[in-house]
Amino acid sequence: MQGSAPGPGLFPFDKFSSTPWIIDGVRDDAATDTARGDLSRRLFLVPRTQVVGLATSGGRVTGIDLVTAGTRTTLPVPASCAVILAAGTIENTRLALTSLGLGDTRFGAPRLGNLIGHLHSNITVRIRRAAFGLPAAADSLETTAFLVRGSASGRRFHLQVSAAAVGGSDPERNMWQQVPDIDTLDHIRANQDPDWIVVVFRGIGEMGPGTALSPDPARSWIDLSPETDQFGAQRAYVNLVATGDDMTLWTRMDQATFTLAAALSGNDPKNIEYLDRRTNTWQATAPVPDAGGGGSWRDGLGSTHHEAGPLAMGTPGTSVTDSAGRFHHLTNAYVAGPALFPALGSANPSLTALSLARRTAQAIVTERTLTPPPGLTPLSLAPGDWTMIAAPGTNPAMRRLGQILETAGSYGLYSYHAQQFADATIWIEWRELAAGDNSGIYLRIPDPTAPDALHQADVNGHEIQIDDLGAGNPAGLDIHRTGAIYGLQAASSFPAHPAGQWNSYLIETRGTTIRVTLNGTLVNDYTSNRATTGFLALQVHSGTIQYRNLRATTTP
* Site of interaction with ligand FAD (CB under 6 A): 50-51, 86-89, 91, 305-306, 336-338, 348-350, 353
Residue spans of alpha helices (H) in 291-372: 350-368
33 three-class SS: coil
Q: How far apart are CA 37 and CA 380, in angstroms?
A: 29
- Cβ-based nearer residue to ligand FAD, 16 or 107: 16
Residue among 67 and 381 whose Cβ is closer to ligand FAD: 67
Which is nearer to ligand FAD, 49 or 553 (by Cβ)? 49
Query: Least CB distance from residue 91 to ligand FAD, whole Å?
Result: 4
In the complex, what is the shortest distance from the CB of residue 222 to ligand FAD, in angstroms, rounded to a whole number? 14
SS3 60: strand
Min dist CB 160 to ligand FAD, Å, is 9
Residue 404 forms beta bridges with which residues?
401
CB 122 within 8 A of CB 200: yes
Residues in the chain: 556
The Cα 358–Cα 355 span in angstroms is: 5
What distance in Å separates the CA atoms of residue 177 and residue 172, rounded to the nearest whole number? 7
Of 47 and 135, CB closest to ligand FAD = 47
Q: How far is the CB of 95 from ligand FAD (least distance, A)?
A: 7
What's the CA dihedral at 318, 324, 327, 331 to 10 degrees? -130
- What is the DSSP secondary-structure string of 195-242? SEEEEEEEEEEEPPP--SSS--TTS-EEEEEEEE-TTSPEEEEEE---
- Pick 339 or 496: Cβ nearer ligand FAD: 339
Residue 73 CB, shortest distance to ligand FAD, in Å, is: 13
User: 130: buried, middle or exposed (CB in 10 Å: 19+, 13-18, 0-12)?
Assistant: middle
Closer to ligand FAD at the Cβ: 50 or 153?
50
Angstrom CA distances, 437 to 408, 416, 465, 466, stand at 11, 22, 11, 8
Q: Smallest distance, Å, CB 299 to ligand FAD?
A: 12
C-beta of 87 vs 531, nearer to ligand FAD? 87
**Of residues 191, 192, 186, 199, the one with CA closest to residue 6:** 186
> Which of 327, 65, 324, 112 is closest to 237 using CA atoms?
112
Q: Are 320 and 327 in contact (CB under 8 A)?
A: yes
Provide the minimum distance between the beta carbon of 442 and ligand FAD in the complex, in angstroms, as a whole number: 48
Q: Which is nearer to ligand FAD, 305 or 455 (CB)?
A: 305
Nearest approach, Cβ of 312 to ligand FAD (angstroms)? Answer: 14
Q: Which residue is nearest to ligand FAD (CB)?
A: 337
